Amino acid sequence: MTDDDDLRARLRSADPAASLEPASPAQVAHLVEETMSSRSNKWALPVAAALVLIAGGAAWAVTRTDTPTPAPTPAIAMSPRPAKVVELTATGVQAKCREPQPQQLATSADFAFEGTVALIDNGRVTLKVSHVFRGATADDVVVAQAGDSSETMLGSGKFETGKTYLVSAAEGTVMICGYSGEADSIGLRELYEAAF
Amino acid sequence: MDLVNVDSRRARFETLAPAVIDAVRRYLARRTDPATADDVLSETLLICWRRFDEMPAEHLPWAYGVARLCLANAERGQRRQFRLLARITRLDPPPQVVDGPAPADDELAAALRRLRPEEAEILRLWAWEDLAPAGIAVALGITANAASIRLHRAKEKLRKTMTSSGHEESTEGSRP
Which of A13, A21, A36, A119 best probes binding to B when mutated, by most B CB atoms within 10 angstroms? A36
**ipTM for this prediction:** 0.74
Partners of A3 on chain B (C-beta within 8 Å) are: 159, 171, 175
A58 or B19: whose pLDDT is higher? Answer: B19
Q: Comparing A139-143, B71-75, B159-163, which segment has the lowest mean pLDDT?
A: A139-143
Of A3, A32, A139, the CB nearest to B17: A32
Rounded to an integer, what distance in angstroms lies between the CA atom of residue A151 and that of residue A30? 37
Does pLDDT of A36 surpass 60? Answer: yes
In the prediction, which pLDDT does B171 show?
Answer: 46
Global confidence as pTM: 0.51
Indicate if the pLDDT at residue A38 is higher than 60: yes
Amino acid B129: pLDDT: 95
What average pLDDT does chain B have? 85
Contact across the interface for A16 and B104, Cβ inside 8 Å: no
Q: Chain A, 115-154: which have a CB under 8 Å from a chain B CB? A: 116, 118-119, 128, 139-140
Decide if B126 and A14 are in contact by the 8 Å CB cutoff: no
Q: Is residue A28 within 8 angstroms of chain B, CB to CB?
A: yes
**Residues B72-121: pLDDT tens digits?**
999 888 888 878 878 777 777 666 655 545 456 888 988 999 999 999 99
CB contact under 8 A, B17 and A31: yes
Contacts of B107 (CB under 8 A, 6+ apart): B162, B165, B167
Please tell me the least confidently modeled range out of A82-91, A102-111, B57-66, B70-79: A82-91
Asked whether the predicted pLDDT for residue B158 surpasses 60, the reply is yes
Query: Is residue A128 within 8 Å of A104, Cβ to Cβ?
Result: no
What whole-number distance in Å separates Cα of residue B22 and Cα of residue B24? 6
- Residue A75: what pLDDT? 34
**Rounded mean pLDDT, A49-76:** 39
d(CA A21, CA B53): 30
